[in-house]
Amino acid sequence: MFFEINSAISSVIWGPPMLAVFLGTGLFLSVKTGFYQIFGIGDWLKSTVGTLIGRKEKKKTDEGSVSQLGALFSALAACLGTGNIVGVATALCSGGAGSVFWMCISAILGMMTCCCENILGIKYRIRDSLGNWLGGPMLYIERGLGMKKLARVYAVFLIGASLGMGNMTQANSVAQGLSGFGVPPVITAAILCITVLLAVSGGLKRITAVSQLLIPVLSGAFILACFAVIFVNRENLLPSIKYIITEAFSIKAISGFGLAKAARYGIARGVFSNEAGLGSSAIIHAAADCKSAGEQGKWGILEVFIDTVFMCSITAAAILTSGVMHDKSLGGVELCAAVFESVFGKAGGYFLNICICLFAFATLVAWSYYGKMGTQYLFGTESGKIYNAVYAAAAFIGCIMKLESVWTVSDIFNGLMAVPNIFALLCLSKEATDALNRKRHAQR
């Protein structure tokens, strides 16, 4: 009964009306900035990727800050993961090939949502008692709107999501992945508990170091594997693209609220993948060493582009070109394993398991920072040490227990996070878009 009630609540929270709110918010902010994510692509790429290529980023950051690159990789560590692999396969199975199109549409609009979240995160951030930056939705809700109680409510939802979706579900993915190599879940639980505690106890700088080590190598390896699958099946690439577009606008894709089947699953996958609208990544970006809020907003655009438009699309292309979707008995992990095994044999399945384990570990470590900041906002800086211990213990439990109810409750907390955050974004939209526009005009 408890599970059924939670499932019903989750379905309401993540139903078509809520997904329409995510899309509407992204569209509203896009219009206010003249669709900057599209027409200003040269500008934001120059300010982000161009800066890195030109090696202009500082080697040393201000005390209590992390580099912009470090903030980007830490935020990517939190959102890149099983959702970009298994989640894409699930969307394709549930909503068909057309879900890829709607996933990209939601991401393109979500770029401006994430951009504005980052701008507000920088604008309203404060120093804690140790001199570190504390920012994100809690701060711009409290300081920008003057609604401290609502900010506290957001912090509670954030902590719940961090322990559930950010921790226990990810830990369970690691345990399941390693079980394929014959490692008992209890052994994985013990090792993961200790490893996580060591990683998170070093604060954001250590989390950033882990992210900068794992994410580029892991993402690069996964992308190359996907490209190999696509190359082997290259004759299916153009037909797959045509199939995506055709299915996106078929009768079964658009009905009711206009968010059924392909549209609904694609939009939901995009939201779950890049977290634009939840406000979570703004917490990490608020600690970046940057010159202006408008500048940091552009890194949010790049983050969503890499996570969903690029990574999820490549995963989908590999699945569709491989032809394994013809086997209707496959879904989720099994479908993804079949994709890589079709090219690499059994080694492809092992490769997928390793990727899932490492992506899940990176997500687990990065999400600890979100929950810790929520805890420190509510109870003070010293409470962070207690949270670290609780977080490590939750990782242990996540490895050894069945997580059906945890998944559902985590979905609820994730959805509830969006409500106060999107409300604040809409109320403070002028401040966010003005900051971006000032930055753009100053560069001309």
Query: Domain extents for the chain?
Result: 16-443
Residues 6 or more apart whose CB falls under 8 angstroms from that of 171 comprise 189, 192, 360, 364, 394, 395, 396, 397, 398, 399
**pLDDT average, residue stretch 180-197:** 91
Among 36-45, 308-317, 419-428, 435-444, the minimum mean pLDDT is found in 435-444
> Which residues face 134 on adjacent strands?
126
Q: Is pLDDT at 6 greater than 60 in this prediction?
A: no
Q: Which amino acid is at 335?
A: L
Structure tokens, 435? 């900051």
Can you tell me whether residue 251 is helix, strand or coil?
coil
Task: List the one residue out of 2, 26, 103, 96 whose CA is nearest residue 432.
Answer: 26
Among 3-17, 70-84, 88-102, 207-221, the minimum mean pLDDT is found in 3-17
Got the DSSP string for 396-443? HHHHHS--HHHHHHHHHHHHHHHHHHHHHHHHTHHHHHHHHHHHHHHH
Q: Please report which confidence band the pLDDT of residue 332 belongs to, taking 50, 70 and 90 as the band edges.
A: confident
The span from the CA of 194 to the CA of 20, in Å, is: 41
**Type and span of the H or E element at 127:** strand 126-127
**pLDDT average, residue stretch 225-248:** 92
The span from the CA of 308 to the CA of 311, in Å, is: 5
The span from the CA of 122 to the CA of 377, in Å, is: 16
Q: What is the mean pLDDT of the chain?
A: 85
pLDDT digits (tens, 9 = 90+) for 194-231: 999 998 888 888 889 888 888 999 999 999 999 999 99
The span from the CA of 406 to the CA of 398, in Å, is: 9
The span from the CA of 75 to the CA of 66, in Å, is: 12
The span from the CA of 345 to the CA of 218, in Å, is: 20
Domain 16-443 of CATH type 2.30.30: no
Q: Please report which confidence band the pLDDT of residue 37 belongs to, taking 50, 70 and 90 as the band edges.
A: very high
Biggest alpha carbon–alpha carbon distance for the chain: 60
First to last CA, the chain: 60
More confident site: 286 or 90: 286
pLDDT digits (tens, 9 = 90+) for 269-322: 788 778 888 999 999 999 998 888 989 999 999 999 999 999 999 999 999 999
Count of CB atoms within 10 A of residue 381's CB?
A: 14
Chain centre distance of CA 88: 13
Residue 1: is it exposed, middle or buried by C-beta count within 10 angstroms (0-12/13-18/19+)? exposed
